Structures are given as C-alpha cells and as structure tokens.
Chains A and B, each alone.
Chain A
Amino acid sequence: MTYLRRYWPFGAVAVLALLPYAGVGIPGVFDGPLNSPGTLQLLALCLLFGGLATGYDLLFGRTGLLSFGQALFVALGAYGADVLITKAGLPLALAAPAAILLGTTVAAAIGAIALRVTGIAFAMVTLAFAQVGAILAARDAWGLTGGDEGLALDVSGLPSGLVGVVNTYKLYWVSLAYLVIVMIVVRRTVSSPTGRVLAGLRDDERRVGVLGLNPYAFKLFAFVLAGALAAAGGVVHLLLVQGADPKIAGSELTLSLLVMVVLGGPGTRYGPLLGGVLYTYLDYRLTHVAGGLPGPLKQPLFVLGVIFILAVYFFPGGIAQLRLRALRRTL
C-alpha cells in the first residue's frame, strides 16, 4: 500500500511513455486509436499544458503572485527558438537552450521592475509588459516574427527524427519529458527551504520580512524560475505545432493558464497538471465536436469560462481538493 503510494508516479509515467505502442482506442474520448498521430498530438498538447500550468502555479499557488505575464516567456521560448532555427539557421540543440536563456533573462529583468509593486498593481504591470511581446509578435517586429500569420518553423533545421506525422510519437515523448522535468523541478523547489519561504510569502509576507529574509529576492527567484520553465514549454510548443504565432504571446494564454491552475487546484502537487490536461482536452473537444450543441455552448471559452466562475465560488480548492474529499469519504 505504501509502496503504491510512493511509486505510482513512476508507474504512471511508464504507462504514459508506452501509450504510442497502444493500438486500442477509447471510443467517445478520442477519435482514433491511442497511437494515431491525431490522438498523440492532442495528448502531447495536454501534457505540455499540464507542465505549463504546473510551472505557472509556482507563482500563483506556491508564492501567491498573480502574474499576468507568463505568456511572454512561453512566447520568448517559442519565437526565440523559431527565429534562431528558421532565420539564423542554428541547429535545435543550440537554439533551444539559447531561447530558454533568453526567456530567463527577460524574466529576470521584468521581474526586477514589476516586483517593486505588489498585489494587484503587480498583476497589471506584468500584463502590460507581456503586452509588448504580443505587440511585437503581431506587428512582425524587425521582420522576424512573421506578423499575424506567425512564423512557420523551417523543419529542415530539425533532426529528421522529429519531423513528419509518423514521428508524432517522438514529440509526444518530448512533451512527456518536459512535464516530468517541470514536475520534478517544482517539487524540489517547493520542498526545499526556499520553497518554505515562498509558502510563507504566500500566506503572509510580513512574517517573512520579520524573519530577516528579503521577500523581494525570493519572489524574484520564483518569477525567474517560472519564466525559465515557461520558455522551455514554449520550445516544446514550437516543436509540437511546428511554428509560433501571436496567440501564444497574448494575454489569453496567461488567462487560460490561470484558469487551468484554479480549476485543478492551486498550490497542490497534481492539481495544476490535472487542470491543464482537462482544459486542453475540453478546449479541443468542444471546438471539434460541439457542432451539434446549441448557441453559446458551441464556444469552448464560454463553457470553460462558466465552469471556471462556478469553480471559484463552489470549489475554490479545484479538482485536487474534490478528489481528496472523495478519497477521504471512501477511506
């Protein structure tokens, strides 16, 4: 029993890693068999957003920082790697770390300024900074970003194993690896002494100040780490959809990350992951299956927005909490 409790994540990862070999389908849930490229692509997106939401929760749920700028760092990862590969002809092995470094650096610079204000003002300021990214992406800044259309990835710069529909399963593994890395990094951070200070900041900033620790430095650390994770997620997104477009830089992306985290359960180990997976899946299914639904129900964002609002009122702890409650009842 305790074994199960302790090691089930390894089992789960193993099962997920083996999915590309499963020829069975789940009717009603996925259109094709699990190992069809379409299903694997959807699953990969789900895992990626699970990871992105978990990274974002490092700010929102773990440190209590309401940032509206997370999309900027995702976009820096995606566009950064895209431009370096497509325009500068760099190999992925160089472009990816460079893009992540870029995202991290920008996160440090913006965090340094934005963290001078707190609370709601911080939210507004991060939103404004992220908007610069959205503008630059949409306006084809310096002829690099491709404007509204976005910048399709020049796949000739990629290792051939990552190109083409037949290789979707490898991209799926990349997503899975990203998710696992994010989970480990967040878990490590949260259980470290630094993580306990972050939790203290979330609960009551004054108490941390009283301990003689500098809240600013710790918040900046969380902001930069979350930015780095987001940039890495951006690179994975670039590979998955073979391009970058302004949608990934817009505030809608940040808002949906926030929705994922809140739906799943902020500050819990698996909540943001669950929220990210569920949101991405529902978004996709409602878009592609909703043809028969009446009126506003056809709009995935309407359904998700309403669920989200109801969640804020009726289960503020998110899915993770619901699950816990149900578990406690059965035990």
Chain B
Amino acid sequence: MSILQVRDLNVVLSGLSILQGVSFDVAPTGVTVLLGRNGVGKTTTLRAILGLAPGIGSVTFDGADILGRRTHELVQKGLGYVPEDRCVFAGLTVAENLRLAERTKNSAYELVFELFPELKKRASQRAGSLSGGQQQMLALGRVLLTENRLLLVDEPTKGLAPKVVTEVADALARVAVRVPILLVEQNLAVVRRLAGDAVVLAAGQVAWTGGASELLSDHDLTKSLLGVGSHS
C-alpha cells in the first residue's frame, strides 16, 4: 500500500505541456527518490501534487483524492514541503521563520534543535544572512516542527559544500525513519545512501521505476536516463 499515488498527471504551464501522463507510487516508509535530467519536470511534479501548479489527472494521498485541493489544506493534512532553493523568508529571523511554521502548541522544537543545533544559536539572526547550508537546515527544520505524513523535499543538497551535504543527508536519514519522503535529488551519492525506490522522469513522462540500488548499479542505464555516470 502506498502513501501517495500519482496517476496520469498532466501539467500545462503558459501553453507548454510540461508533464504528460506521469504515474508513480510513493512507498509508505523510507525515501522514494524522483530523478531526471535538468528541466525534465521534477519540481513541477512536486508543485502539482501540492496544488501549486495546475495539474490534471489524479493524485491520491492516504486514500483521498487531493488534486485541485488548496495548498494550505493539504499541508495541514500532513504533506510537508521543502522547496527547491529553500525559500526561507529572508527578512524574518530564524526564530520567526520557525514560529511561522508552528501549527499546534507542542511543536517539535527539541527534535529540530537536536538535528540542527545551529538554528538555536542563530535564532535572532535574519534568515537572509544565513549561509546556504544553514538556510537548508532552516527549510528542513520548519517542516519538521509539525506532524507530517509525507515530506516532499526538492534538491536539498543543491549548491552545498560536501561537508554540509553529509549533514543534510544525515538529517534526512534520521527523519526518514519516522516519515516517508519523496525526494528530488541530483547527488547520486546521497541517493545511494537514502533511497529505496527510484522514479526517473524523461521528457515529461516516467521512464523507469524500480529499486534505487538496481538503477545505480547499472552504469549504462544511469548514463542513458540521467546523463551522468553512477560512479561519481
């Protein structure tokens, strides 16, 4: 039984057909990774699931059809979103960024500060003045404050230093124990470490699904689907 089922998802943006009949399932535990070359529509897929991009087709989350529902309702139902490029509120302090994400009184601050002690230290610093890695921790931290039943995480390691990539991957690994994650990730080392299932998009459609390790162990397959070697 999967937590999220995407069936025949189509997205048209300013007259361009971006996704054409995308279908895949997200496992109820662990990390499902969404792969594909640049510009293939990974972000658009996540946005359509969340109602941030106009989608046609069907998306079932925990048994309920959610396509076309308003974004904030879906998030309240337990769909957490960590967007590409982090999107922290630059003009707000770290504490305010976190406070904004609170939904109930007993927010999981202990968990967040344990994962990212840096956030506690920098509570009164403006988020815009954080480093990229710290901003990513803030973006992850603010969804972890609340109860989620599925996290949609878009390229959390993009543009980060290798040491920070490891930190973020560690955090994701720990989170994945409790909440399933649909992860978009270009860094294959991180994919290899985290992912159970993999879904590969090409030309607006699903080109391959299966186990992530199976995909990564096949050098030619990886090369043809992603345009990169798996030994990086």
Q: Is B15 an interface residue (CB 8 A)?
A: yes
Rank and list the top 3 A-B pairs by shortest CB-CB distance, nearest first. A204-B14, A203-B15, A204-B15
Closest Cβ of chain B to A330, distance in Å, is 31
Cα of A203 to Cα of B15 in the assembled complex, Å = 9
Q: Is the interface of B mostly helix, strand, loop or mixed?
A: loop
Q: Is A207 an interface residue (CB 8 A)?
A: yes
Number of interface residues of A (CB under 8 A): 4
Q: Which residues of A contact B (CB under 8 A)?
A: 203-204, 206-207
Q: A-B contact count, CB below 8 Å?
A: 6
Q: Indicate with 1 or 0, residue by residue over B1-42, a CB within 8 angstroms of chain A CB atoms.
A: 000000000000011000000000000000000000000000
Closest Cβ of chain A to B53, distance in Å, is 15
Q: Which residues of B contact A (CB under 8 A)?
A: 14-15
Cα of A206 to Cα of B13 in the assembled complex, Å = 12
Closest Cβ of chain B to A211, distance in Å, is 14
Residues of chain A within 8 A (CB-CB) of B15 are: 203-204
Q: List 6 A-B contacts (CB under 8 A).
A: A203-B14, A203-B15, A204-B14, A204-B15, A206-B14, A207-B14
Cα of A206 to Cα of B15 in the assembled complex, Å = 12
Closest Cβ of chain A to B54, distance in Å, is 15
Cα of A204 to Cα of B15 in the assembled complex, Å = 9
Closest Cβ of chain A to B56, distance in Å, is 20
Residues of chain B within 8 A (CB-CB) of A203 are: 14-15
Closest Cβ of chain B to A206, distance in Å, is 8
Residues of chain B within 8 A (CB-CB) of A204 are: 14-15
Closest Cβ of chain B to A202, distance in Å, is 11
Residues of chain A within 8 A (CB-CB) of B14 are: 203-204, 206-207
List the B residue with the shortest CB-CB distance to A205: B14
Residues of chain B within 8 A (CB-CB) of A207 are: 14
List the A residue with the shortest CB-CB distance to B14: A204
Closest Cβ of chain A to B137, distance in Å, is 32
Cα of A207 to Cα of B14 in the assembled complex, Å = 9
